[in-house]
Amino acid sequence: MNSVGHMVKSGKLVRALHDLQEAMGTTLPGYNTPNVYSLDQGLELAMATINKASDGPSGKATFLIPLQPNDTERGGCPVELPKFLSGFDYSQYKGFYHTDFTLPSEYFRPDVTRPTNVEPYNLDFTYLFLKDLTNPDFDRMGEGRRIRLSGSDATGGINPTDKRIRAQATEVRIADVPRLREALELKH
């Protein structure tokens, strides 16, 4: 799940529903227009949020990277950023956590401050703007891809392909799953 992509999708949906209500004359009072309803706005919001990260005992947990003066290979930013963000890299940032790791081992230490051997991860913004075959995350997380059908078919019955109906939860011991055990051992 990607929160920026979901926020954009939700903003689009709310705006579309509001447009429908207006067309039908059923607009509710007190409607607030969503601030983020495009991936361009999502990139700006993500960068602004990271830029305002608070300082903890060990500094910021996430931070923007200044643009390199000689970085002309990528071209300009696909979004017109406000001045306070224009000097930062729009394709990547750094952070001491990674959303791809569900349980980072760094979180399970008794230290109050960040250990000096913990390095920041290079994290990516390109899923919000780079629509390219080399960047499947734009399709998966930025624009989003439907991964299941709704719970009923055209006749109103339960769709037999619905994964929620077919799925059965199974609990296993890590020791009984060699590939998982090997993957976890590689992390250490």
3-state secondary structure of 58: coil
pTM: 0.69
pLDDT of residue 6: 81
The amino acid at 97: Y
- What integer best gives the mean pLDDT of the chain? 81
- The answer on pLDDT for 137 being more than 90 is no
Distance CA 50, CA 52 (A): 5
- DSSP letter (8 states) at residue 152: B
Q: How confident is the model at residue 114 (pLDDT cuts 50, 70, 90)?
A: confident
87-112 confidence digits (pLDDT tens)? 999 999 999 888 777 777 777 778 88
- What is the C-alpha end-to-end distance of the chain, expressed in Å? 26
Residue 3, pLDDT > 90, answer: no
Q: Which residue has the higher pLDDT, 90 or 165?
A: 90
Q: What is the pLDDT of residues 33-85, one digit of tens each?
A: 788 888 899 999 999 999 999 998 899 989 999 988 776 666 788 889 999 99
Backbone phi and psi for residue 168, each to the nearest 5 degrees, phi listed first: -130, 125
What's the pLDDT at 83? Answer: 94
φ and ψ at residue 156, rounded to 5 degrees: 90, -5
pLDDT for 84: 95
List the one residue out of 154, 130, 155 whose CA is nearest residue 142: 130
Question: Can you give the pLDDT at residue 1?
Answer: 36
Q: Is the pLDDT of residue 157 over 60?
A: no
